[in-house]
Chains A and B, each alone.
Chain A
Amino acid sequence: MSITYLEAIREAQAHALRDDPRVFIYGQDIGAFGGAFKATKNLAKEFPGRVIDAPISEDAMVGLAVGAAIEGMRPIIEMQFADFSTVGFNQIVNQAATLFWRTQVPCPITVRLPFGGTSGSGPFHSQSLETIYAHYPGLVVLTPATVEDAYSMLLEAVAIDDPVIFCEHKYLYYHLKAEKLPSEALPVGKARIAREGRDMTIVAYSAMVHEALEAAAELVPEGWEIEVVDLRSVKPLDTDTVMASVARTGRLLCVGEAWPWGGVTAEVIARVASEGFGLLDVPPQRLNAKDTPVPYHPNLWTAHRPTAHAVAAAARKLLRL
């Protein structure tokens, strides 16, 4: 028996609904229909009145979640696509993210963002928005890369007393499988060494972890041993684990699927350069998507985002420095 990344998300929600009467899910098409990606399949039937269809009103969806959280509930909001969360952006960054700091009343909401590119999805169903949410104080931003993390981190997200932006990668929904759900997990806020190596550190998160791992495998016949760090959570960012890895390898490449200006890869490089400059043997590099909207056609799409080959090429360049 195997379980996909998407099924893990569904199972985590079922688990949360079962264990905690304060949990409910609110989003578009998530009730009887089971969600655009079926992440809530059968949950409305299993948990009557707690998996609720919302109108196409992302602003009001998040606003409702904040109000419910004030009343002690633990709402999960499903955005149909991360791209549409921009309509609810104001409620996320100005309402949810400021509530605790302003009033000492915590705001335990989880906003699920199905994000990232898949072939043919185009400019408005492919965006990676972790950076823009991580920029705001008051939010926790999670980017699970594995089936196990999708499950355990979503459960932890619901339990956290603060607003969590849960970035679940659509490309991983069906592509990624595990044998079973985990019984224990690293806590949120800790990065993971996805692959040990000695010659270079590649820091990645979400789907890019898998491109980085494939690139590392591609470089083995050439004699290189690449270490891959999976950030797991981009906010908080586990600088210690990254720094320890760079201390071992002396070389750093950061890979992200988001746009290049600012962002997670820039943040990692800024931290390593300012706090660990002496650990670096060569200038750190980063690889991101191109600075255009996400294209529709597969030829353009595969060139727009970092792929394993592109990561390997960037790594080779860095290894020769």
Chain B
Amino acid sequence: MLQTVLDADFVGDATSFRDTHLTAYRFMLLARMLDDKCAGLYRAGKIHGGVFIGRGQEALSVAIGLALKKTDVFAPLIRDTAGRLAFGEPVVDAVRTYLGSVLGPMRGRDGNVHRGRPKEGYLPMVSHLGAMISVVNGMLFARRMKGVTGTVGAACIGDGGTATGSFHEALNQAAIEKLPLVLIVANNHYAYSTPNDREFACRNLTDKAAGYGVESHSVDGTDLSACLKIVGDAVARARAGRGPQMVVATLLRLCGHGEHDDASYIDPKLKASPAGRDCLKVAEEHLLRQKWADAAAFAALRGEIVREIEEAVAQVQREPAPDPFTEDWRAISTGHLNEGHE
């Protein structure tokens, strides 16, 4: 049963409630297993630098990935493997960027979560939190100037990112220009190791939107159904011309900041609270309860995903690494304006 759904393209509102959930679940599971694979490669010393996974944030992430059209703009954050896959990123792009393959979108020049294809509306983040939001604004602003209509741009950020100046400047800018921006805030309760009470003093992060005249929405980030609905509605509102929308999801990061981090600072009470539920398990139980899938279907899906990921990893491990001797070492596209090259 899962298989037929998985083969069908997701077509937004027109797809039935059940099919949407099954599609979302597949991307969540794919993301979880891809993240786990990358974490394993990291521990095996196969990945240079860090690995940053989205365990516990897949429901929110997949909801925004599915709510966007391929012609929209998406600026994911480091825990958005599910959203990236749902937006259309192939598994091989993620693996190539982690392993530094020269055939990947970043060609070994940038790595891990810093990947994207700007011309396809899929932005590769810089590490400076909040800085991607105004870039999404700019793409939406330019499209409006060019007469392109019906487009939406989503930017994702965490609770820590809402404390940056860039976040405030960009949210205010989007409000002034009435841009179709959807700002997804994953409040996973920790900015690296810093808890919420050292990051903000407002009662709820949605208060920040109110300050700029931006509509905001709260959602339980562990509940896939709620995420699909609230995020989907926010995207629809932005598309309908109601200006920027902010969605604040409450959830808990079920892993460290990166795979180097044991997350020992996470309060056990939070882990035991509703925010600490594993959204993937919650979704699975929901599918079982609704009889939309059974144990055999889940097992088959897992087997299929394992094969997909293993094939991608095996392929990328055979691909060439970047070569410093053929690298052109030019940071400027206008050839003669480069400095310092031999």
Cα A161 to Cα B334 with chains together (Å): 6
Residues of A155-197 whose CB lies within 8 A of B? 160-162, 188-189
- Chain A residue contacts of B222, Cβ below 8 A: none
Interface presence of A263 (CB below 8 A): no
Q: Does A35 contact B (CB under 8 A)?
A: no
B-side binding surface: helix, strand, loop or mixed?
helix
Count chain A residues whose beta carbon lies closer than 8 angstroms to a beta carbon of B.
Answer: 47
Q: State which of A57, A69, A162, A189 has its C-beta within 8 Å of the C-beta of B173.
A: A57
On whether the beta carbons of A140 and B146 are closer than 8 Å, the reply is: no
**CB-defined contacts of B123 to chain A, threshold 8 Å:** 70
User: Is A102 touching B106 in the complex (CB atoms < 8 A)?
Assistant: yes
Please tell me if the beta carbons of B334 and A70 are within 8 angstroms of each other in the complex.
no
Known A67-B139, A105-B119, A188-B337; contact A55-B124, beta-carbon cutoff 8 A: no
A88-107 with Cβ < 8 A to chain B: 90-91, 94-95, 97-103, 105-106
Residue numbers in B under 8 Å from A54 (CB-CB): 173
Segment among B53-61, B163-171, B237-245, B277-285 that sits at the interface with chain A:
B163-171
Question: CB distance A138 to B173 under 8 Å?
Answer: no
Pair A106/B333 contact, Cβ less than 8 Å = yes
Cross-chain contact A67 with B331 (CB below 8 angstroms)? no
Q: Find chain B residues with CB under 8 A from A24 CB.
A: 145
Query: Which residues in A have their C-beta under 8 angstroms from that of B141?
Result: 64, 67-68
**How many Å from the CB of B226 to the closest CB on chain A?**
30
Beta-carbon contact of A103 and B331 below 8 Å: no
**A293 located at the interface, meaning its Cβ lies under 8 Å from any Cβ of chain B in the complex:** no
Say whether B126 contacts A67, CB under 8 Å: no
Contact A70 B118 (CB under 8 A): yes
Q: Is the CB of A59 within 8 A of B137?
A: no
Instruction: Please tell me if A262 contacts chain B, counting CB pairs below 8 Å.
Output: no
- Give the interface centre of A60, A161, A236 by most chain B CB atoms within 10 Å: A60
Question: Across the interface, do B137 and A67 meet the contact criterion of CB distance under 8 Å?
Answer: yes
Residues in chain B within 8 A of chain A (CB atoms)? 105-106, 109-110, 114, 116-119, 123-124, 126-128, 131-143, 145-146, 165-166, 169-170, 172-173, 176, 330-334, 336-339
Binding site for B on A (CB under 8 A): 24, 49-50, 54-55, 57, 59-73, 75, 87, 90-91, 94-95, 97-103, 105-106, 137-138, 140, 160-162, 188-189, 235-237
